[in-house]
Structure 1
Amino acid sequence: MPDPVLSLADVRLTLDGNAGPVEILHGIDLSVGLGESVGLVGPSGSGKSSLLMILGGLERATGGRVAAMGYDLTALDEDALARFRRDNMGVVFQSFHLIPTMTALENVATPLELAGARDAWDRAAAELRSVGMADRADHYPAQLSGGEQQRVALARAAAPRPRLLLADEPTGNLDAATGRAIADLLFDLRDRHGATLVLVTHDERLATRCNRVVRLRDGRIEPGDRAEAAE
């Protein structure tokens, strides 16, 4: 089997709580192959989102090793992690995280400009068209519905052509019909750009659209789930 795009070995996460240290993740081993889509599911508090944040270098593991695209993320400082995310990752959150003082077009173009893309505005406009938001490009987040804001967030994540796409409950704040439309767009973006996708969701039906489903409970991968990428 070729080297995985993402690899976690004995990853642990302990955070300080009011009553003392709280163990969030307990020795996670997981690998994700090139172009694979993996759904992470489990009850609230199982560690799904924490695991995704570690995969994206947004949270530091307190033990073990995290590797992505051949880089040891546990060895990178904050600036190097930020550059790695800029060059390789797109992240979609449940709460959109759009910049309220920027239009939809500006929200999508900003990460491209920061990466030095000369065609930032053209690419941003193209991605907005791909998610059906071309006619809302000049609107601010407060002028958009939740579904429209998530479409802009998807366009922003996809515009840099990331090799890794991470999504944390991307349909969690949306009604069922809008959530299905956003899910369709997410998988379409994955297919168009050939990205590797890791998706955190409570929705079993959405998770089963992935190549593989990994279930977490109490900070551990449930026994019997396949934690390694397919050959």
Structure 2
Amino acid sequence: MTDPVLHLEEACLSLDGNAGRVEILRNITLRVPRGETLSLVGPSGSGKSSLLMLLGGLERATSGKVTALGQDLSALDEDALARFRRDRMGVVFQSFHLIPTMTALENVATPLELAGARDALTRAQAELEAVGLAHRLDHYPAQLSGGEQQRVALARASAPRPAILLADEPTGNLDEANGGAIMDLLFDLRDRHGATLVLVTHSHSLADRCDRVVRLRDGRIVADAAREAAE
């Protein structure tokens, strides 16, 4: 069996709150092969987004092991983790997280410039054209609709050609039409760049388009099915 792109072994996540220690994720073991599209589903509070954060090194496992592209994420300090994400991962959030004082082009070019790419602006323009925003290059986030802002966020995540693309409720703030367009773009980006795609969603239609559906409840995986067998 080839090594998985993402691998969790008995991973747990606990956080300290006002009421004491809270168990967020419990003994998660998960393998994600290269090129797979995987959806994480379940009720609110089931641990979906926390699991995505573990996969992206945005949260550290309390115990167990998290490996991405053969790299043990727990062995990296914060600076090394940031560089790893910059070079190997693209992350898309529900709330876009665009820099308000930068144009769409500048937002997309920023991670490329941080990585030292000499053609950052050219590549950023190509990514924006690929998501249908060639006419919005010089617009600021406040001048864009919600759907357009999410397109910019997708272009920014995909511009560095990441091996792993993580998306947390990418259609959650959008209406049905814009949500459908973002779904199409996500899978197009995956196909164009050959990335492994893991996404959190409440959308049945988006989950059903993935190769595999993993269902969580109370911080545990309760179902793991290939698309043909998924509900």
Give the TM-score of the pair, scaled to structure 1.
0.96
Q: Deviations over 1:179-209 (max 9, x none)?
A: 0001100110010000000010001110110
- How far the C-alpha of 1:226 sits from its partner, in A, is 4.7
- How far the C-alpha of 1:17 sits from its partner, in A, is 1.2
Give me the whole-angstrom Cα distance separating, in 2, the residues matched to 1:143 and 1:4: 41
Structure 1 gap ranges (5+): none
AA partner of residue 124 (structure 2): A
- How far the C-alpha of 1:169 sits from its partner, in A, is 0.2
Residue aligning to 2:212: 212
- How far the C-alpha of 1:121 sits from its partner, in A, is 0.4
AA partner of residue 225 (structure 1): D
Give me the whole-angstrom Cα distance separating, in 2, the residues matched to 1:225 and 1:85: 26
Residue aligning to 1:141: 141
Residue aligning to 1:85: 85
Give me the whole-angstrom Cα distance separating, in 2, the residues matched to 1:145 and 1:204: 24
Structure 2 gap ranges (5+): 227-231
Residue aligning to 1:26: 26
Residue aligning to 1:191: 191
Give me the whole-angstrom Cα distance separating, in 1, the residues matched to 2:24 and 2:83: 27
User: Does the alignment pair 1:170 with 2:175?
Assistant: no
Map 1:1-231 onto structure 2 (within 5 A).
1-222=1-222, 224-226=223-225
The structure, 1 or 2, with the larger RCO (C-alpha pairs under 8 Å, 6+ apart) is: 1
AA partner of residue 224 (structure 2): D
Give the TM-score of the pair, scaled to structure 2.
0.96
Give me the whole-angstrom Cα distance separating, in 2, the residues matched to 1:6 and 1:226: 17
Q: Deviations over 1:50-78 (max 9, x none)?
A: 00001000111111000000100011110
Give me the whole-angstrom Cα distance separating, in 1, the residues matched to 2:132 and 2:205: 24
Quote the RMSD (CA, aligned, Å): 0.9
Query: Structure 1 segments of 4 or more deviating over 4 A?
Result: none
The question of whether the paired residues in 1 share the 8 Å contact of 2:212 and 2:224 is answered with: no
Q: Deviations over 1:201-228 (max 9, x none)?
A: 0011101101000000000000x4259x
Give me the whole-angstrom Cα distance separating, in 1, the residues matched to 2:49 and 2:97: 16
Give me the whole-angstrom Cα distance separating, in 2, the residues matched to 1:64 and 1:70: 15
Q: Tell me the number of residue pairs that the alignment of Structure 1 and Structure 2 aligns.
A: 226
